[in-house]
Amino acid sequence: MNSRRARILPHVGAAVGDTPLVALDRLASGLPGRVAIKLEYFSPGGSIKDRPALACLEEAEAAGILKRGQWVVEKTSGNMGAGLAWACAVKGYRFVAVMSAGNTPERRRMIEAFGGTVVLVPQARGGTDGQVSREDLELVEAETARQVQKRRAFLPDQFNNPACVRAHERGTGREIWEQTAGAVSHFCSFAGTAGTISGVGRALKRRNPRIRIVVVEPKQAQTLAGKRVVSTSHVVQGGGYAMTPAIYDPSVVDATWPVSDRVALRTMRDLAREEGIMAGISTGANVACALALAAKAPRGSVIVTVACDTGLKYLSLDTQHRRDRR
């Protein structure tokens, strides 16, 4: 995007992408592979979802199915909602985020700060605060359908919209290739909608088919690995719902890697304390996987992952887990 070269960007949407890639040489010290993380929270909404949020709106505008002043409604765990909220504010659309009450309060407050409306859906019976299950998501889906019909709204439908994959194929994946000067040997990421793993996987495999693409899943819900689901309730928000997203491209994935809640939380804290990077729980899962790959990779390998969002969105949840352990 040429406007990105200007000293003054024309609008905040032009600030999406071109996020920094940072080495984790402290956490990966002594390992044969080098680990680098792409800081997606540098985008306006503070997450990797800013890319697909903007892409969904712009492709819908180009197709003539989204017009100024229209309602936009989306189910979200928070990050896509925040991305759509600021993008709708800039573009002149009214936005409604439908969320489970199990998501952290910081996420919904951020959406409201951007001028979006949050419809909060109570969790399914037996639900755990801070952990959104497949059953919780089904309730959110039903409410989303009601809101779309009620407002005659445009539904970005992030779990099924190929624009989400294209955003990462054209942006995130290309940037990783350029930032590593083609030296990237592995890429790993948690699969929510699977837009990131599919888009980045396509971009990197097209440039070098030998690059290994690894998808990260919650240990108790390894659907993409083809294993029996123990539970869809876990601390990693935004995915692991015991479902295979329609936009998931298994042809670019070489392996899966399970992560436990304990490891994801511990790595998230280590990332902040040792690298000065405050990111979320899914990022903790990503980095744990990247470190495991770096430990077994040939010397000189470059393992890349992503910081999906900022840890500022999880401070209340992390405090709760600290209390629970006492």
Phi and psi (nearest 5°) for 57? -70, -45
Residues recognised as catalytic: 49, 282
Q: In angstroms, rounded to a whole number, what is the distance separating the alpha carbons of residues 160 and 165?
A: 10
Instruction: Check if 2-47+163-324 and 50-151 are the same fold.
Output: yes
Domains of the chain, by residue range, sit at: 2-47+163-324, 50-151
User: What pTM did the predictor assign?
Assistant: 0.91
Measured between alpha carbons, how far is residue 223 from residues 121, 210, 215, 231 in Å? 25, 25, 11, 11
Could you tell me which CATH class the domain 2-47+163-324 is placed in? alpha beta
Diameter of the chain measured on Cα atoms: 57
User: What is the number of helices (H) and of strands (E) in the chain?
Assistant: 10, 9
- 171-207 confidence digits (pLDDT tens): 999 999 999 999 999 999 999 899 999 999 999 999 9
Q: Candidates 3.40.50.261, 3.40.50.1100, 3.30.2130.10, 3.30.43.10; correct CATH number of 50-151?
A: 3.40.50.1100
Phi and psi (nearest 5°) for 50? -60, -35
- 136-176 confidence digits (pLDDT tens): 889 999 999 999 999 999 999 999 999 999 999 999 999 99
- Residue holding tokens 């199990």? 102
pLDDT of residue 322: 44
Amino acid at 302: V
- pLDDT for residue 63 is more than 90: yes
- 70-128 confidence digits (pLDDT tens): 999 999 988 999 999 999 999 999 999 999 998 888 889 999 999 999 999 999 887 77
